[in-house]
Structure 1
């Protein structure tokens, strides 16, 4: 993300401070769904990795057992709005209500004082960010894998993600049908590459 954008949204978390051993923060957007989320959980387990799953509330409603599998494996659930809304095209009232509806579902599974929120597409206004920051930690990223892009070849997706990753990076994958081809190619290789370099993978 350009530095200017990051400075415009100081409420948002874009990356984590370097740690020892070097640590990466994998995140998965748009699930949970039975077709893709179990694959992600299997790959994470292979490398003893933890991650954060930014869930679409309607998917949690439809697939609560999959959401529970994520928690049972030691990962964290987080808010990605109920209907995957863009903060640029909805009224503040509608957007805030959608966030609250998703959070109500998540709180039943994972009670927490200050939950995490990722705006779909990264689209949020300054006014929304200020309001939401009072109740949520807003999480952005510094590495977007673009696994959802059908024009992005799996090999290119992997190479770009590896090149952009730094200690403390917050990385975006998607446990969605749209991302399936690239996700299934990139994720195991990405994990193996950085595990081989001595990195650990932590949840936010």
Structure 2
């Protein structure tokens, strides 16, 4: 992400402190039965923990999968209820959609979080919205976008881009979605294997 954009949104976390050889994998848009179980299997192979930014409507549709994510030791977080853009959605509607997703999360979480995590879909959020949401949520962006959803990007190129930009403390975005399936299924196991061989660990935010 360009440095000027990071400075415009100081409320957001773009990466984690690089205190060791740790990467912070995140998965957007799930949970869904077609892709999330595959992600859980791959993470388990490498004893990797991750953060899943969930669409609330998918939690409502697939609560058992959301609970499986928690049972595997991962973290669930807010990605709005209907995957809305903060640039084009009226403010009141957007805030209500975020709250609705958090209600869906509360139905599967063992207990409420003091400061839940929220990632704006597409990374699109205005400064006024960010300031309002920051009162309740920790806003999470990223410094590595794998672009696994991009059908014009060959799986091999997707993998090399993801590896090339990852650094200790990086917050890395994958998607457990149908759109990302082809690249996700190629890239994720190879990405995990590459960095595990380099002595990295994978943690939830």
Q: Scaled by the length of structure 1, what TM-score is found?
A: 0.99
* Structure 1, unaligned runs of 5 or more: none
* Structure 2, unaligned runs of 5 or more: none
Matched residue, 2:131? 130
Shift of 1:87: 0.2
Aligned length: 203
Matched residue, 1:168? 169
Q: What is the correspondence of 1:108-187 to structure 2 with a 5 Å cutoff?
A: 108-110=107-109, 111-187=112-188
Matched residue, 1:9? 9
Shift of 1:109: 1.9
Residue 109 of structure 1 aligns to a residue whose secondary structure is coil
Q: What is the correspondence of 1:2-151 to structure 2 with a 5 Å cutoff?
A: 2-20=2-20, 22-110=21-109, 111-151=112-152
Residue 157 of structure 1 aligns to a residue whose secondary structure is helix
Residue 24 of structure 1 aligns to a residue whose secondary structure is strand
Q: Aligned partners of 2:137 and 2:105: how far apart in 1?
A: 13
String of CA shifts for 1:50-70, please: whole Å, max 9, x gaps. 000000000000000000000
Shift of 1:163: 0.3
After superposing on structure 2, the runs of 4+ consecutive aligned residues of structure 1 that deviate more than 4 Å are none
Shift of 1:108: 2.4
Matched residue, 2:194? 193
